[in-house]
């Protein structure tokens, strides 16, 4: 049994809740509890019941506590890292008015385009928020709700992000953090506050929003007796403000002011995400110019189609995902659910270069290549947002931190190595979002810097792979098809 205090980091993702119990001194994982989420919707719709998130969080925590064999009295803090951008609308009793609109719900693409135009174009938005509205952003979802469900808007007594909703259930206190708030397009990264003009533009009363804590590690309250009863934990332990899942992953990797700055990371999950922590405020229309959880910035690009899209192609071909081969002449852009980066919300998959000699294995390999080229092109933009030259040999030699479920897949790793030409580091921890949330919880309990804590826990350490020669032929072939097809064939 550990003699050190224990903290809980919760990763409330699109698909599940994970509660990771961490030794707050050593960073050792003591137990992990899990419970699934349900996502509904057809076409562009993607929705979930926020109450189900809470029930899954409770199940994950109670299961993890039981499996750990710990005394509940050892736990000193808890923090939630949640899927970003989701729109949660609550009534006066704090109950959801309707299912939450999720980050990958693309129905709000027309509203995003209209909002971009209404403020004067992409540059006007990036100057204020660091980001341009796309279908993922919460402001576009609120605008969609205003236009399609005015009764839901009229019933709104509070508007929350997914992690805000869960944090409020824990502490009984409304709060968010700069990181997750910066994904709404109604929070200004230039001023560090909600933007009154943007709120007026989308018809959102600022009184419906939670206060913004200084950082994701700020202690915004204590675990209420009611929540403690459901979780099996002591009432009164520290509850951190928490943050978005990408910001928490950065903390878990030790990226931030007290750790690595301007260092690239690539997450291969349902979505493909590239980011770096920087002191330079990003303002590129091609990126989400987020704030980080620790007071720095987190320029980030997200592609909608990554492991899930490639797995779908594998299923259609009747192949295991690791039987793929290099695509040869074939180019497959697996934009099965529209695409966020590049901004092509109405796109579908595009196949070019098919021959009689093309094999199923090459088709699957081409799906990997299309997904990886897309996300690596976005990585170059992230590096530029940090004030770096992506072609500089020193920058190109910085190891790429490869995380997410795809980082455990042989062909994913091989494709990223071949198309990036970079050295890779694959961290040993499978739960970096939850690890980052645990560091925020420890920060709330002790006042220590969460990035410094996570760095001491060495969550970013793992298997190191040397670079291989970059496959520029495939890179240029896929890039050429993407540039020629967008927007005509992919619009």
Kindly report, residue by residue over 146-162, the tens digit of the pLDDT: 999 999 999 999 999 99
Q: Which tens digit of pLDDT belongs to each residue from 4-40?
A: 999 999 999 999 999 999 999 999 999 999 999 999 9
**Is residue 195 predicted with pLDDT exceeding 60?**
yes
Question: What is the pairing mode between strands 75-82 and 243-244?
Answer: parallel
At which residue do the structure tokens 């397009």 appear? 185
**Is residue 439 predicted with pLDDT exceeding 70?**
yes
286 CA to centre of own chain: 17
Residue 104 contacts residue 337 (beta carbons within 8 Å)? yes
Q: Give the separation between CA 404 and CA 267, rounded to whole angstroms.
A: 5
Q: Give the separation between CA 29 and CA 6, rounded to whole angstroms.
A: 10
Q: Give the separation between CA 158 and CA 174, rounded to whole angstroms.
A: 9
Q: Which tens digit of pLDDT belongs to each residue from 260-269?
A: 999 999 999 8
Q: Is 177 a catalytic residue?
A: no
Alpha carbon dihedral 278, 279, 284, 286, in 10-degree steps, equals: 10
Tell me phi and psi for residue 387, to 5 degrees. 85, 20
Residue environment code for 242-271, b if the CB has 16+ CB neighbours within 10 A, otherwise e: bbbbbbbbbbbbbbbbbbbbbbbbbbbbbb
Q: How far is CA 449 from CA 47, 295, 305, 436, 441, in A?
A: 35, 11, 34, 12, 11
pLDDT (mean) for 182-191? 97
Q: Which of 152-156, 446-450, 486-490 has the lowest mean pLDDT?
A: 486-490
**Long-range pairs for 35-38: beta carbons < 8 A, 24 or more residues apart:** 35/59, 35/60, 35/63, 37/12, 37/13
Q: Among 18, 7, 454, which Cα is nearest to 253's?
A: 454
**Is residue 1 predicted with pLDDT exceeding 90?**
no
Q: Which tens digit of pLDDT belongs to each residue from 228-258?
A: 999 999 999 999 999 999 999 999 999 999 9
Q: Give the separation between CA 139 and CA 52, rounded to whole angstroms.
A: 23
Beta bridge partners of 402: 266
**Is residue 491 predicted with pLDDT exceeding 80?**
no
Tell me phi and psi for residue 184, to 5 degrees. -95, -25
Residue 403 contacts residue 306 (beta carbons within 8 Å)? no
Catalytic residue selected from 245, 262, 343, 449: 245
């Amino acid at each position: 049994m550990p003699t050190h205090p224990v903290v809980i980091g919760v990763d409330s993702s699109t698909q599940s809740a994970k509660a990771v119990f961490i030794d707050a001194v050593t960073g050792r994982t003591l137990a992990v509890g899990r419970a699934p989420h349900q996502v509904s919707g057809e076409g562009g719709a993607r929705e979930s019941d926020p109450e189900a998130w809470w029930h899954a969080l409770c199940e994950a925590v109670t299961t993890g506590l039981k499996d750990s064999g710990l005394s509940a009295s050892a736990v000193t803090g808890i923090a939630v890292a949640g899927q970003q951008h989701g729109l949660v609308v609550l009534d006066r009793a704090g109950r959801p008015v309707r299912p939450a609109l999720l980050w990958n719900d693309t129905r709000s693409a027309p509203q995003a385009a209209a909002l971009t135009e209404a403020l004067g174009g992409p540059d006007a938005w990036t100057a204020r928020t660091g980001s341009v509205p796309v279908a993922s952003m919460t402001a576009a979802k609120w605008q969609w709700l205003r236009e399609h469900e005015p009764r839901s808007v009229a019933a709104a007594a509070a508007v929350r992000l997914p992690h805000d909703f869960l944090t409020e259930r824990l502490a009984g206190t409304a709060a968010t953090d700069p990181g997750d708030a910066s994904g709404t397009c109604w929070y200004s990264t230039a001023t560090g506050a909600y933007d009154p003009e943007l709120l007026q533009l989308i018809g959102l009363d600022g009184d419906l929003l939670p206060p913004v804590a200084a950082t994701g590690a700020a202690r915004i309250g204590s675990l209420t007796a009611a929540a403690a009863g459901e979780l099996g934990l002591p009432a009164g332990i520290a509850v951190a403000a928490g943050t978005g899942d990408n910001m928490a992953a950065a903390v878990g990797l030790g990226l931030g002011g007290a750790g690595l700055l301007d260092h690239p990371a690539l997450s291969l999950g349902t979505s493909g995400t590239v980011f770096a922590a920087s002191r330079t405020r990003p303002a590129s229309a091609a990126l989400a110019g987020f704030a980080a959880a620790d007071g720095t910035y987190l320029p980030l690009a997200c592609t909608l189609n990554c492991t899930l899209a490639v797995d779908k192609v594998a299923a259609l071909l009747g192949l295991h995902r690791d039987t793929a081969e290099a695509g040869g002449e074939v180019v497959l852009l697996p934009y099965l659910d529209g695409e966020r980066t590049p901004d092509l919300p109405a796109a579908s998959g595009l196949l070019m270069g098919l021959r009689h000699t093309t094999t199923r294995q090459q088709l699957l390999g081409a799906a990997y290549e299309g997904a990886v080229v897309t996300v690596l092109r976005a990585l170059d933009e992230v590096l530029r947002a940090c004030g770096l030259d992506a072609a500089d040999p020193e920058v190109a030699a910085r190891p790429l931190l490869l995380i997410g479920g795809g980082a455990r897949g042989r062909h994913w790793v091989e494709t990223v190595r071949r198309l990036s030409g970079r050295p890779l580091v694959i961290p040993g921890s499978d739960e970096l979002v939850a690890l980052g949330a645990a560091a925020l919880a420890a920060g709330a309990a002790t006042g220590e810097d969460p990035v410094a804590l996570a760095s001491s826990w060495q969550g970013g350490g793992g298997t190191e792979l040397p670079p291989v020669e970059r496959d520029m032929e495939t890179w240029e072939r896929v890039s050429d098809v993407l540039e020629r097809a967008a927007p005509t064939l992919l619009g």
